[in-house]
């Protein structure tokens, strides 16, 4: 091999070796800029004096102070806790129940699964729109019940400040419980058959087998489901906008809608940024320990 | 075809030394088997030869050419993998010609090459099938076909038979051996199965923990293992190791095995110089099961290599051709090979003959052969 | 798990009763899930008068597609009253490039990260993955700034950029997890055969990636088509996606509330993803559970 040939092949060999890195670089750079860079930007904004336009003047913790002094923010946080809690618990119960029921060698299992899951394919806007119609005080569920004879039935939650947030729970559960069911069903199907046979030979009854053995053994999936649902809850924006618009007033506001209103409609960039950072912190508090424990414990994922 | 030389080859992954100075040289047409337990570095060494990894130190030469920095495709080698690594989306024909196509070999030449190889390996009816439609043995042959068609200087095999069932493994082993005899190619073959090593190799390199333990012909490795590891690794059932002392009586050397006040004394048949230094010291007495048999005619007579001793029989394991007899000496379980018609009953005592011309002595500390 | 049926200690009629109860519960739930869809369809096929006079659950006495026609061609979004069809095409123009680009990038990233590992590859992957979990509220403000500076504010290409950037983490996750279980020896054999990085990708890896490509495309399409937050934040004008237009139609405070039009518009918006789900739901489920069960 001539000298010039070897330098040329050295160059191509060198590029080949680094090709992998070159290929991944754009995505990595995009991630660094559009994710981490932006987080830093928003973080800084939360420390700045920004109102309508971003400015770089330092304002310390003032935006956070203002944030926490706003009653609307407190309402949003409270709503998040109510909504998040109910949403997660209800989805878990329904999802688990449906998964267990579907696991019993049902004849129309495929069709039922499709029916339970299809809401997940819809946009939250579509979901919000249809439930807004269903729960319409005058023409929706209430009037249907009246027509069926139950004339004293009242369902004005949608326009009731105290109850509006619960309508969001109803719609969200409708959308997401099928997904939880799918997760649980997959997990149930992966349980070691021998353990069940052993329990059967010990004389355990079917409910006993389920509650005592199977459900505890899919505990990791519970955790996964909770993390996914919590994540969905914190991010909930589309559904609230479509269903209640955050109202009446701001009684069904969630941090996500709060942030949007402050940043894009109320010329309160700083406060909006501060609320976004609070949302980030909440999500991190859930995700980071979870990811850490997953990566530590489950090295099987390569 | 070409020779292969590994000169002071070292490989480290960060701080971990996987190969510690390997020196090997084989001639054109030899069948080298790298054998050893998992983690001994044999696959890493194969990858170095293939060019899938680069050596940290030392030189690798094919013929006279130093190939340390040469890309695998330019080394003129071919490799058969344990999982065959056939391209799932291509037909057998495409699988075999893929490499040729990359190199710009013409359609005609490719077709001829495939036809030749398919005939040789008897895979002609399979040419238009996909790998998923083939059995294990068929995939194995296609993988070999892919290697053969490149007409390389050296063939590399990475545990190619491990994924086959026992019967198929034996059949394929014979086929590989026949292929080697027919083509006279230089082969480097990695396996953890010592039987494959013994039956296929012209020379075996036994490895452990990245160090070459012994590099010799199968027969030499079997009869004169360098250390206790090689002695115990090669041969099945493995060599018996008994703690004993080298004693001297009337100018004759013997092995003395303690046994509850009634020691077994086995006079040596040969006494090389190296034994002199161990008189009176502890040694490890190594003797293969086939050298411990039922009582032989002419044993215990002067000049005979067979020395007798009695022992109680613990367990017998008839295998059809022989009966493996487990006896207990000095707290250790020893395996002897006895003819089925002479086989004892468990619990009985029997006379055994030890063939003292086929023994090995090892230093108990260094585990090296004396 | 089907075996457990045979382990039930109940026999005879008690068993039948329990099975009956089982089916009953399942059917009730099915009704709960189907009810909104049925109402949506039924309402969209009624005239406004019938809606006011009739009941929620009554099927239309006279089936009319007027509402659908109106929604598609005449509904008012903001000040324009040209129907939702423009926004349908906006969504299409946005979704297709975004899905294709993010899927392709995810594939080649996953391939590079698993088959051509380099030092720090795990860190790169972890950092990329992390981006999947952030609440997007935290990037809205800077993104609108950047889009403005790039001249992409309120434009379809701008939205495509946003969706590609934030979809990368999911697609890379899908492909990476899929490629991890493809044996490395395949790449080794191809290397010895003389193929390079890209040749191996095009000719060997991609052809066997069909299952995960389908999962990725379906997942991305669903996410991107259904998105509202990015659409509302970055393209709320003539280039708005369908979801934004839908919300606009439904939440207009002027004029008479046309519930049938609302429902028709909602159905039109939901139909594409619903169709994808019905036709390829199996892959959809695989996509949903692939990333999350492993966390």
CATH code of the domain containing A80? 1.10.3720.10
Q: Is the pLDDT of residue C17 over 50?
A: yes
Q: For residues A136 and A142, give the distance between their C-alpha atoms in angstroms, rounded to a whole number.
A: 8
Q: Is the pLDDT of residue C254 over 80?
A: no
Q: For residues C115 and B190, give the distance between their C-alpha atoms in angstroms, rounded to a whole number.
A: 23
| DSSP-assigned letter for residue B190 | E
Q: For residues C168 and A35, give the distance between their C-alpha atoms in angstroms, rounded to a whole number.
A: 11
Which chain B residues touch C208 with a CB distance below 8 Å? 88-89
A124/C277 Cβ within 8 A: no
Do residues B76 and B169 both lie within one domain?
yes
Which chain B residues touch C195 with a CB distance below 8 Å? 98, 102
Q: Nearest-CA residue of chain C relative to A287?
A: C133
Do residues B67 and B181 both lie within one domain?
yes
C193/B85 Cβ within 8 A: no
- What are the residues of chain C with a beta carbon less than 8 Å away from any beta carbon of chain B? 183, 185-186, 188-195, 199, 203-204, 207-208
Do residues A19 and A125 both lie within one domain?
no
Shortest CB distance from C142 goes to which of A42, A209, A227?
A: A42
Between positions 73 and 102 of C, the ones with CB within 8 A of A are none
ipTM (interface predicted TM): 0.85
Do residues A31 and A154 both lie within one domain?
no
How many H-runs (helices) and E-runs (strands) does chain C carry?
13, 0
Length of chain C: 295
- Every domain of chain C and the residues it spans: 2-70, 85-294
A35 CB near a chain C CB, below 8 Å? yes
Angle between helices C85-115 and C121-130 (to 10 degrees): 160
Partners for A (CB, 8 Å, 3+ pairs)?
B, C
What is the structure's pLDDT at C287? 64
Do residues B33 and B72 both lie within one domain?
yes
Which domain-ending residue is among B187, B216, B233?
B233
What is the structure's pLDDT at A301? 42
What is the structure's pLDDT at C253? 67
C56, two tokens: 């929620």
Do residues B194 and B85 both lie within one domain?
yes
| B27 inside domain | yes
Higher pLDDT, C142 or A154: C142
A174/C32 Cβ within 8 A: yes
Do residues A77 and A28 both lie within one domain?
no
Between positions 198 and 217 of C, the ones with CB within 8 A of A are none
A269, two tokens: 């960039």
Do residues B199 and B75 both lie within one domain?
yes
Do residues B21 and B166 both lie within one domain?
yes
B87/C204 Cβ within 8 A: yes
Do residues A25 and A135 both lie within one domain?
no
| B367 inside domain | no
Share of chain B above pLDDT 70, in %: 100
Do residues A214 and A107 both lie within one domain?
yes
**CB distance B230 to B221 below 8 Å:** yes
B85/C185 Cβ within 8 A: yes
For B123-142, give the DSSP string: -GGGTTS-GGGS-HHHHHHH
Average pLDDT over chain C, rounded to an integer: 86
Which domain-ending residue is among B180, B198, B233?
B233
Q: For residues C212 and C198, give the distance between their C-alpha atoms in angstroms, rounded to a whole number.
A: 19
B73/C192 Cβ within 8 A: yes
Do residues B217 and B246 both lie within one domain?
no
CATH assignment of C85-294? 1.10.3720.10
What is the structure's pLDDT at C6? 52
Q: For residues B4 and B366, give the distance between their C-alpha atoms in angstroms, rounded to a whole number.
A: 31
The number of C-beta contacts closer than 8 angstroms across A and C is 302
pLDDT tens for each residue of B331-343: 788 999 988 888 8
Q: For residues B216 and B320, give the distance between their C-alpha atoms in angstroms, rounded to a whole number.
A: 32
A41/C142 Cβ within 8 A: yes
What is the structure's pLDDT at A10? 61
- Which of B54, B64, B68, B69 is the best residue to mutate to test the A interface, defined by the most A CB atoms within 10 Å of its own CB? B69
Which domain-ending residue is among B233, B252, B278?
B233
Average pLDDT over chain A, rounded to an integer: 83
A275/C197 Cβ within 8 A: no
A301 CB near a chain C CB, below 8 Å? yes
| B311 inside domain | yes
Q: Nearest-CA residue of chain B relative to C208?
A: B89
Average confidence (pLDDT) over B270-274: 85
Q: Is the pLDDT of residue C256 over 80?
A: no
Average confidence (pLDDT) over B9-20: 91
Q: For residues B316 and B328, give the distance between their C-alpha atoms in angstroms, rounded to a whole number.
A: 12
Below-50 pLDDT ranges, chain A: 1-6, 299-302
Which chain A residues touch B69 with a CB distance below 8 Å? 13
pLDDT tens for each residue of B31-71: 999 999 988 999 999 999 998 888 999 999 998 899 998 88
Q: Is the preceding peptide bond at B237 cis, omega within 30 degrees of 0? A: yes
- Which of A115, A122, A178 is the best residue to mutate to test the C interface, defined by the most C CB atoms within 10 Å of its own CB? A122
Higher pLDDT, B320 or A1: B320
What is the structure's pLDDT at B335? 92
A93 CB near a chain C CB, below 8 Å? no
B259, two tokens: 């046994």
A35/C36 Cβ within 8 A: no
How many domains is chain B partitioned into structurally?
2
Q: Is the preceding peptide bond at A248 cis, omega within 30 degrees of 0? A: yes
Higher pLDDT, B1 or B225: B225
Higher pLDDT, B208 or B298: B208
Partners for C (CB, 8 Å, 3+ pairs)?
A, B
The count of C-alpha atoms lying within 13 angstroms of the C-alpha of B31, restricted to the half-sphere facing its C-beta, is 20
Note down the domain range covering A94. 71-301
CATH at B81: 3.40.50.300
For B151-189, give the DSSP string: --SEEEEESTTTTS-HHHHHHHHHHHHHHHHHH--EEEE
A80 CB near a chain C CB, below 8 Å? no
| A57 inside domain | no
Non-local (6+) Cβ contacts of B93 within 8 A are: B114, B127, B128
Share of chain A above pLDDT 90, in %: 22
Do residues B336 and B317 both lie within one domain?
yes
Length of chain B: 370
Do residues A153 and A229 both lie within one domain?
yes
Question: Of A199-208, B141-150, C64-73, C87-96, which range is least confident?
Answer: A199-208
- Which of C116, C117, C183, C192 is the best residue to mutate to test the B interface, defined by the most B CB atoms within 10 Å of its own CB? C192
For A226-290, give the DSSP string: HHHHHHHHHH--HHHHHHTTT-STTTT--HHHHHHIIIIISS-HHHHHHHHHHHHHHHHHHHHHH
Do residues A145 and A86 both lie within one domain?
yes
| DSSP-assigned letter for residue C58 | P
Non-local (6+) Cβ contacts of C63 within 8 A are: C45
| B370 inside domain | no
What is the structure's pLDDT at A204? 77
CATH at B336: 2.40.50.140
Which chain A residues touch C219 with a CB distance below 8 Å? none
Which chain C residues touch A121 with a CB distance below 8 Å? 222, 270, 273-274, 276-277, 284
Average confidence (pLDDT) over B11-28: 92
What is the structure's pLDDT at A119? 92
Q: Is the pLDDT of residue C73 over 70?
A: yes
Average confidence (pLDDT) over B108-127: 91
What is the structure's pLDDT at C11? 63
**Which candidate, C46, C47, C26, places its Cα nearest to that of C38?**
C46
Which chain C residues touch B87 with a CB distance below 8 Å? 186, 189-190, 203-204
Q: For residues A74-101, b (16+ Cβ closer than 10 Å) or e, as one string? A: ebbbebbebbbebbbebbbebbbbbbbb
Note down the domain range covering B297. 240-362
Q: Nearest-CA residue of chain A relative to B69?
A: A10
Q: How far is A281 from chain C (nearest CA, A)?
A: 9
Q: For residues A144 and A136, give the distance between their C-alpha atoms in angstroms, rounded to a whole number.
A: 10
Average confidence (pLDDT) over B113-122: 91
C192/B52 Cβ within 8 A: yes
Which chain A residues touch C109 with a CB distance below 8 Å? 23-24, 27
How many domains is chain A partitioned into structurally?
2
Q: For residues A243 and A254, give the distance between their C-alpha atoms in angstroms, rounded to a whole number.
A: 12
Do residues B209 and B246 both lie within one domain?
no
Q: How far is A49 from chain C (nearest CA, A)?
A: 15
pLDDT tens for each residue of C154-211: 899 999 999 999 999 889 988 998 898 889 999 999 999 988 899 999 999 999 998 8
| A52 inside domain | no
| A195 inside domain | yes
Between positions 209 and 268 of A, the ones with CB within 8 A of C are 209, 221, 224, 227-228, 231, 234-235, 237-238, 241-242, 245, 255-256, 259-260, 263-264
**CB distance B287 to B242 below 8 Å:** yes
pLDDT tens for each residue of B167-189: 888 988 998 998 899 888 899 99
What is the structure's pLDDT at B72? 87
């Amino acid at each position: 091999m001539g000298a010039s040939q070897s330098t040329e092949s050295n160059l191509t060999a060198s590029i080949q070796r680094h090709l992998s890195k070159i290929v991944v670089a754009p995505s990595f750079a995009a991630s660094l800029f559009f994710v981490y860079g932006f987080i830093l930007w928003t973080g800084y904004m939360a420390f700045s004096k920004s109102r309508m336009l971003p400015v770089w003047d330092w304002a310390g913790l003032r935006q956070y102070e203002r944030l926490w002094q706003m009653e609307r923010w407190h309402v949003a946080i409270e709503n998040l806790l109510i909504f998040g809690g109910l949403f997660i618990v209800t989805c878990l119960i329904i999802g688990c129940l449906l998964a267990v029921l579907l696991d019993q060698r049902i004849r129309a299992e495929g069709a039922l699964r499709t029916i339970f899951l299809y809401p997940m394919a819809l946009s939250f806007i579509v979901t919000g729109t249809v439930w807004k119609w269903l729960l319409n005080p005058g023409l929706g569920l209430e009037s249907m019940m009246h027509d069926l004879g139950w004339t004293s039935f009242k369902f004005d939650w949608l326009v009731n400040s105290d109850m509006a947030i619960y309508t969001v729970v109803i719609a969200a559960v409708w959308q997401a419980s099928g997904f939880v069911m799918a997760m649980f069903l997959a997990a149930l199907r992966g349980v070691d058959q021998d353990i069940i046979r052993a329990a059967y030979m010990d004389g355990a009854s079917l409910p006993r087998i389920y509650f005592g053995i199977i459900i505890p053994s899919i505990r990791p999936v519970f955790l996964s489901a909770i993390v996914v649902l919590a994540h969905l809850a914190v991010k909930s924006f589309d559904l609230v906008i479509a269903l209640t618009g955050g109202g009446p007033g701001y009684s069904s506001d969630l941090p996500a809608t709060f942030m949007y209103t402050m940043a894009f409609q109320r010329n309160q960039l700083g406060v909006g940024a501060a609320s976004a950072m609070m949302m980030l912190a909440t999500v991190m508090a859930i995700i980071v320990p979870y990811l850490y424990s997953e990566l530590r414990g489950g090295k099987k994922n390569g | 075809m070409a020779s292969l030389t590994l000169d002071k080859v070292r490989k480290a992954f960060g701080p971990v030394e996987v190969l510690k100075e390997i020196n090997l040289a084989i001639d054109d047409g030899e069948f080298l088997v790298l054998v050893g337990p998992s983690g001994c570095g044999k696959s890493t060494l194969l990858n170095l030869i293939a060019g899938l990894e680069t050596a940290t130190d030392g030189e690798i030469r094919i013929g006279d050419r130093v190939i340390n920095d040469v890309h695998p495709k330019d080394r003129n080698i071919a490799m058969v993998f344990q999982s065959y690594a056939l391209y799932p989306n291509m037909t057998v024909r495409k699988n075999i010609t893929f490499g040729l196509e990359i190199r710009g070999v013409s359609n005609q030449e490719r077709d001829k090459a495939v036809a030749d190889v398919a005939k040789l390996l008897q895979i002609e009816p399979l040419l238009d099938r996909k790998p998923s439609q083939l059995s294990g043995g068929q995939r194995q042959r296609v993988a070999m076909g892919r290697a053969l068609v490149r007409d390389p200087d050296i063939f590399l095999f990475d545990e190619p038979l491990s994924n086959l069932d026992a019967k198929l493994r034996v059949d394929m082993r014979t086929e590989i051996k026949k292929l080697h005899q027919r083509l006279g190619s230089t082969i480097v073959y990695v396996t953890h199965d010592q039987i494959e090593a013994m039956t296929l190799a012209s020379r075996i390199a036994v490895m452990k923990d990245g160090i070459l333990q012994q590099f010799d012909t199968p027969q030499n490795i079997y009869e004169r293992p360098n250390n206790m590891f090689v002695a115990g690794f090669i041969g099945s059932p493995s060599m018996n190791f008994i703690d004993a002392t080298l004693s001297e009586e009337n100018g004759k050397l013997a092995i003395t095995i303690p046994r509850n006040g009634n020691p077994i004394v086995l006079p040596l048949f040969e006494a090389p110089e190296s034994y002199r230094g161990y008189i009176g010291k502890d040694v490890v007495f190594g003797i293969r099961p086939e050298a411990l048999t039922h009582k032989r005619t002419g044993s215990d007579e002067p000049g005979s290599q067979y020395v007798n001793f009695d022992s109680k029989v613990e367990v017998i394991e008839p295998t059809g051709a022989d009966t493996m007899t487990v006896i207990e000496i000095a707290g250790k379980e020893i395996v002897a090979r006895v003819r089925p018609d002479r086989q004892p009953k468990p619990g009985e005592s029997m006379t055994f003959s030890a063939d003292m011309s086929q023994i090995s002595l090892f230093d108990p500390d260094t585990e090296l052969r004396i | 798990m089907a075996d457990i049926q045979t382990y039930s200690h109940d026999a005879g009629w008690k068993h039948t009763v329990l099975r009956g109860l089982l089916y009953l519960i399942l059917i009730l739930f099915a009704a709960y899930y189907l009810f909104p869809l049925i109402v949506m369809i039924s309402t969209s096929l009624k005239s406004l008068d019938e809606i006011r006079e009739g009941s929620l659950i009554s099927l239309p006495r006279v089936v009319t597609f007027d509402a659908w026609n109106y929604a598609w061609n005449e509904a008012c979004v903001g000040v324009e009253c040209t129907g939702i069809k423009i926004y349908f095409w906006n969504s299409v123009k946005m979704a297709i490039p975004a899905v294709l680009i993010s899927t392709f990038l995810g594939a080649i990233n996953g391939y590079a990260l698993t088959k051509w590992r380099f030092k720090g590859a795990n860190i790169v992957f972890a950092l990329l993955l992390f981006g999947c979990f952030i609440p997007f509220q935290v990037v809205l403000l800077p993104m609108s700034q950047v889009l403005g500076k790039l001249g992409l504010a309120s434009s379809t290409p701008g939205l495509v950029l946003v969706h590609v950037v934030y979809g990368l983490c999911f697609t890379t996750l899908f492909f990476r997890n899929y490629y991890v279980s493809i044996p490395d020896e395949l790449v080794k054999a191809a290397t010895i055969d003389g193929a390079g990085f890209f040749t191996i990708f095009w000719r060997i890896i991609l052809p066997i990636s069909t299952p995960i490509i389908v999962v990725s495309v379906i997942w991305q399409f669903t996410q991107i088509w259904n998105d509202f937050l990015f659409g509302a934040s970055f393209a709320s004008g003539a280039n708005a996606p369908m979801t934004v237009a839908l919300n606009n139609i439904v939440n207009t405070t002027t004029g008479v509330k046309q519930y049938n039009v609302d429902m028709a518009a909602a159905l039109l918006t939901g139909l594409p993803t619903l169709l994808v789900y019905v036709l390829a739901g199996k892959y959809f489920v695989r996509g949903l559970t692939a990333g999350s069960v492993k966390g």
